[in-house]
Amino acid sequence: MNPTKRSGYVMKKQNMWMIVSFFLLSVFLNPETIIKGIPLSRVFLIAAGGDIFVDNDLNSIACYSADGKFKFKFGQAGEGPGDIKRMGWFAINPVDHNIYVTEFLEGNKWISVFSAEGKNISTPKMNLNWDECHGLSFIQFDSQGNMYVQSHKSIYRPYKDFSIGKCVNRLLKLSPGGQSIKDIYKMEQDLSADKGGKGNITIPFFNYLYWTLYEDRLIVRESINDYFSLFDQEGNLIKKYPMPFKREKVTGKDIDDWEAWMKTTPLVKQGTAEGWFDLKYWRKRLPFPGYKPVCGGKIHADSSGNIYNMSYESKGNDKWARINLRDGKTSIIDFKENYFLITIRNGYFYFKHAISEDEYVIVKMPEKEANEKIISVIK
């Protein structure tokens, strides 16, 4: 077959599949629940009025209507009022409905406040010790407008014949005006290694801190733990809930798989070819953790008290932990093929639904309908 004709045939076939996919999706769901045109990135927030905010890049935020139409964007690179040098995260304050933006490592040492229309309002005067806080990432609010933010500090120390970079993570509670109230949680983790002439590398299977607010209670978990902890607003431990996934030790095969994957990454391939990166050197010397992470990704909570967290080993949509805070019931679930959970908000699940390899839509679905059509209990 002529290559040009074959290319056209494939294109027509793909277009036909997309049309069929949209038809089946429309039959399967109420058409009003299908949202097209919103790019997915790290942050996906739904305001009280239905507008959707996503991070546009490291320096700006984009706003879309509830049906996916672009409205405006705000923020720009810089070091002045209204500028965002290196965005960490952002969240909507339920009291004043403004958007608060944190700055990560090497960013501006403040939190910027924008109105729901994208106008820069203020920069709260924060009494944080910036020698102990090199940057802020995740941020959320309780019902009184108090801020909960995750701070980061990088520390390097000598180790063998290279250096180890450690990250100190702290979960802080701040007043609406930005004044420090209490340190809630602290976690230290070796994250990276550096050796002149051998390159630098992230330590695999490293620990990571995940947390969220649910009914003004804090849900905190470290990725290597097979449980999560429930705290009150003052940081007092209420209860630990076991995960349905158990911890597994890092084996030689895990390190073999890691090394094989590293060899395919462009930076490592370039460094190996040019002689400044030696994977065998790192394999012999890295302080590999004893255990692999159990779960990863953001923690989600629905209105029934269920907490959702994806298994570390998941490839796609399979294997999520669901734990109910009210009755303690634990289960392993999965989502219908090509549905990936983005967030849960105001009684609705928001899924990314892939209709082809490079096309997707966002599906908004009531919790009850999601449990009937999308969620399956594995165990």
pLDDT tier at 116 (50, 70, 90 boundaries)?
Answer: very high
- The predicted pLDDT at position 128 comes to 85
Name the percent of the chain lying above pLDDT 90. Answer: 76
Task: Kindly tell me if the per-residue pLDDT of 11 is higher than 50.
Answer: no
- Residue 138 contacts residue 219 (beta carbons within 8 Å): no
Span 124-159, pLDDT tens digits? 878 888 888 899 999 999 999 999 999 999 999 999
Residue 254 three-state SS: helix
Cα separation, 129 vs 134, in Å, equals: 9
Cα separation, 279 vs 289, in Å, equals: 17
State the SS3 of 307-346.
EEEEECCCCCCCCEEEEECCCCCEEEEEECCCEEEEEEEC
Task: Kindly tell me if the per-residue pLDDT of 197 is higher than 60.
Answer: yes
Q: For residues 76-87, give the mean pLDDT.
A: 94
Cα separation, 216 vs 270, in Å, equals: 48
pLDDT tier at 9 (50, 70, 90 boundaries)?
Answer: very low
Task: Kindly tell me if the per-residue pLDDT of 2 is higher than 90.
Answer: no
For tokens 């040098």, name the residue.
85
- The predicted pLDDT at position 21 comes to 53
Span 268-278, pLDDT tens digits? 999 999 999 99
- Residue 219 contacts residue 301 (beta carbons within 8 Å): yes
Cα separation, 30 vs 252, in Å, equals: 49
pLDDT tier at 16 (50, 70, 90 boundaries)?
Answer: low
Residues 78, 82, 84, CA angle at the centre, nearest 5°? 45
Span 297-340, pLDDT tens digits? 899 999 999 999 999 876 555 799 999 999 999 999 999 988 99
pLDDT tier at 8 (50, 70, 90 boundaries)?
Answer: very low
Task: Kindly tell me if the per-residue pLDDT of 26 is higher than 80.
Answer: no
Residue type for position 178: G
Q: For residues 231-238, give the mean pLDDT.
A: 94
Cα separation, 251 vs 259, in Å, equals: 13
Mean confidence (pLDDT) of the chain: 89
Q: Which residues contact 76 (CB under 8 A, 6 or more apart)?
A: 59, 60, 82, 83, 84
State how far the alpha carbon of 316 is from the alpha carbons of 41, 310, 311, 312, in Å: 16, 10, 10, 11
- The predicted pLDDT at position 32 comes to 55
Cα separation, 22 vs 361, in Å, equals: 10
Which residue has better confidence, 26 or 97? 97
Task: Kindly tell me if the per-residue pLDDT of 123 is higher than 90.
Answer: no
Element (H, E) at 149: strand 147-159
- Beta bridge mates, 72: 63
Q: How many CB atoms lie within 10 A of CB 369?
A: 14
Nearest Cα to 91, choosing from 302, 298, 363?
298
- The predicted pLDDT at position 192 comes to 95
Cα separation, 129 vs 2, in Å, equals: 68
State how far the alpha carbon of 73 is from the alpha carbons of 63, 68, 118, 322, in Å: 6, 14, 7, 35
Tokens matching residue 97: 């409905």
Task: Kindly tell me if the per-residue pLDDT of 15 is higher than 80.
Answer: no
pLDDT tier at 7 (50, 70, 90 boundaries)?
Answer: very low
Cα separation, 224 vs 249, in Å, equals: 10
Q: For residues 73-97, give the mean pLDDT.
A: 94
Q: How many CB atoms lie within 10 A of CB 173?
A: 19
- Residue 302 contacts residue 314 (beta carbons within 8 Å): no
DSSP symbol at 5: H
Q: For residues 217-224, give the mean pLDDT.
A: 96
Cα separation, 180 vs 146, in Å, equals: 10
Cα separation, 152 vs 67, in Å, equals: 36
